[in-house]
Amino acid sequence: MAHKHLNGGNAVILEQLRNGTAKFELVSSPVPSVDAAAPPNKKNTSLFGIGNCSSTLFFARIGSSLGEQSSAMKKREYFSVQKVTGDGRCLFRALVKGMAHNKGTALNQHEERENADELRMAVKETICENDRERILYEEALIAITVDEPLKRYCQRIGRPDFWGGESELLVLSKLCKQPIIVYIPEHEHRGTSWGSSGFIPIAEYGSEFGKVSKNLKPRKPVRLLYSGKNHYDLLV
């Protein structure tokens, strides 16, 4: 979901999402404006499995988190892929693996799993158990409750095989004060063959933590590779 000030049309759209008269659809490429009148038979194209929308309700089409940086961020980039275990914790595993890599350390499988579960439980505590903290994560709450009731989400996130995605990235980038950039393989973005070896950034979270400030040393981003099969690996 785009990080934008909630004024004008954006405020209207968010209100429609809250009261159920609009459905959320994250599009892979930024759109010039919010369109609440997409055809009712438009299929959801969420990058992160948010919302299985196929109804007569309007769609709130919101561009990816790249926002105004989209043209610059669409450039092909090259990294090495570090595979992450696909046990339902892949997003959380990739994050802790990436943060450790940025600090020059490595985690064994046991540490990786424990730290990944700690991240998942940190999201649960923030969103499900702390009313004061929860209100600071409006974008994540909208992304969650558009697809399911908050109560059901809070029951699911407690399970060790819970799959993380957009909502959790919105929370963890702030909790960890960590810039996070999500990429897809170039061949998926451009519709080219598997021979394409580059990666295209599609979403960015916590970019403010990568900038110089008085209170925080700028942090290196963690770069995640997302596949269309709901799996995350690490790019280094």
Digit-coded pLDDT (tens) for 33-61 = 333 333 333 333 333 333 332 333 333 33
152-183 residues labelled b (16+ CB within 10 A) or e (exposed): ebeeebeeeebbbbbbbbbbbbbbbebbbbbb
State the pairing for strand pair 199-205/180-185. Answer: antiparallel
**The two three-digit tokens of residue 39, written as one number:** 């055809």
Give the pLDDT score at 75.
82
Span of 39-48, 153-162, 225-234 with lowest mean pLDDT: 39-48
Give the pLDDT score at 192.
55
Give the pLDDT score at 187.
79
Burial (CB count within 10 angstroms: exposed 0-12, middle 13-18, buried 19+), residue 86: middle
Averaged over 94-118, what is the pLDDT?
Answer: 96
Which residues form the catalytic set?
A: 87, 90, 231
More confident residue, 138 or 68: 138
**Largest interatomic CA distance in the chain:** 51
Max avg pLDDT among 27-41, 117-131, 182-196: 117-131
The residues near 121 (Cβ < 8 Å, ≥ 6 apart) are 158
What tens digit of pLDDT does each residue of 124-142 get? 999 999 898 999 999 999 9
Tally Cβ neighbours within 10 Å of residue 85.
Answer: 15
CA angle 203, 205, 206 (to 5 degrees): 155
